[in-house]
Amino acid sequence: MTIIIDPQSSGIAGNMLIGAFVDLGANASEIKDIMEKSAIEFGGVEVNFEKINKNGIASTFCQVKMLEVEKSISCKELISKIEKLDLDENVKNTSINIFKRIAEAESKVHGKTLKTAHFHEVGASDAVADVIGSVYAYYSLDFDKQKVIGLPIAVGGGTIKTSHGILPVPVPAVIEILKDAQMTGGPVDSELATPTGCAVYMELCDEIKEFIPLLKPKQTGYGAGRKDFDHPNVLRILECEDITENDTIDVIETNIDHLTGEEIGYLFDRLLDEGASDVSITPIIMKKNRQGSLLKVISKEFNRENLIKAIFKETGSLGIRITPNIHRGVAKREFITKEYEIDGKTYEVTFKVGYVNGEIISSRPEYEDLKRIAKDSGLALRDVKELVK
């Protein structure tokens, strides 16, 4: 399964995430209890859930009411209090990571160290409840076992009154938290993306994409925002069934006619060590009937320049061809380990399993495991391969 967090139209906030998770089946009563108990040390909150309609979209609204307002709290003190809470370790550690993200952003914006950073708007009891409630719901739905993709965040516009005075939207902390993500202004003159919501989003998302990849939607949850606009103020989370993963790659090529076989072998290994997704070398006939080799390297875009530099350095090539952003279909893959008894000894073999539309299309043992067993057992490699089918 793949989970899509979609804040494209109305941004993101902690209570919107919780509402969407509850809409997808998380237990509202359990989450309410966890949020209220966790927030006691920070001033206390009262949490209520209700089904509401936001401009035609049925959604779940998580209302978090502070019982006592604290002015500020240090990062160190806040994390220390969270560490003492009676929570699942995964929930606790992920929640701490989220607050560290906020603290790092705040400290950078205000020119302070992480030790001296204080939380203001995000240090109140409702923020603690929002973070822990979001993370608890995420784990309760087993979304930590799925791939989570985030779509671009609508951050709103205009200005907002804060403890630091009037600030432009998005506020500086949000910009810091969303570095390496994608955001867009509007569509309203209002703050849509809170530091808390953005930090949870960045911690939970495995990948940020501009568009939804090829997937089959199975279930959708809508978490309502507090404000009312001319459009539905909701955060959408989709639970999807994987089809075939879409991917883009760069293909890097050059012709080689002056390297020895040993040098080509070294180049092959060097490029894999540098992060190439795949490397192939094909014998070719070049101009004037010279024998040569075609080097072809498959690369992710972020690693392209690194690999090109390595090719220039190792080959002395005067020209390298680059074909960027080639789309490829990639079957979903996972690795599983099986045990086999061979000549009275137990061996572990890792299989690479490929899926398309939930069906297994291939299951192949890893070569290094087969080689290890062959050396240890004295059997021929082909015999080991037959035994572990």
59-95 pLDDT per residue, tens:
999 999 998 776 678 888 888 999 999 999 999 999 9
Residue 221 CB coordination number (10 Å): 23
Mean pLDDT, residues 81-110 taken together: 92
Q: pLDDT-based confidence at 171, cuts 50/70/90?
A: very high
Mean pLDDT, residues 256-273 taken together: 91
Taking CA atoms, 356 is separated from 2, 95, 329, in Å, by: 14, 34, 10
Residue 358 has pLDDT above 90, yes or no: no
Q: Which one has a higher pLDDT value, 362 or 237?
A: 237
SS3 263: helix
Tokens of 6: 């979609």
How confident is the model at residue 118, as a pLDDT?
Answer: 58
Give kind and range of the element (H or E) at residue 89.
helix 89-110
- Compute the distance between CA of residue 332 and CA of residue 326 in angstroms, rounded to an integer: 18
Tokens of 121: 């708007």
Highest mean pLDDT among 5-19, 123-137, 329-343 belongs to 5-19
Q: pLDDT-based confidence at 332, cuts 50/70/90?
A: confident
- Burial (CB count <10 Å: 0-12, 13-18, 19+), residue 97: middle
How many residues appear in the chain? 389
The vertex-81 CA angle with 76 and 85, nearest 5°, equals 145
Residue 245 has pLDDT above 60, yes or no: no
What is the pTM (predicted TM-score) of this model?
0.65
Residue 113 CB coordination number (10 Å): 8
How confident is the model at residue 128, as a pLDDT?
Answer: 94
How confident is the model at residue 121, as a pLDDT?
Answer: 45
Residue 155 has pLDDT above 80, yes or no: yes
Cβ(20)–Cβ(58) under 8 Å? no
Mean pLDDT, residues 259-263 taken together: 89
How confident is the model at residue 223, as a pLDDT?
Answer: 98
How confident is the model at residue 330, as a pLDDT?
Answer: 62
Tokens of 44: 């206390």
Q: Work out the mean pLDDT of the chain and round it to a whole number.
A: 90
Give kind and range of the element (H or E) at residue 250.
strand 245-256
The label of the residue with tokens 């992060």 reads: 275
Tokens of 76: 């160190």
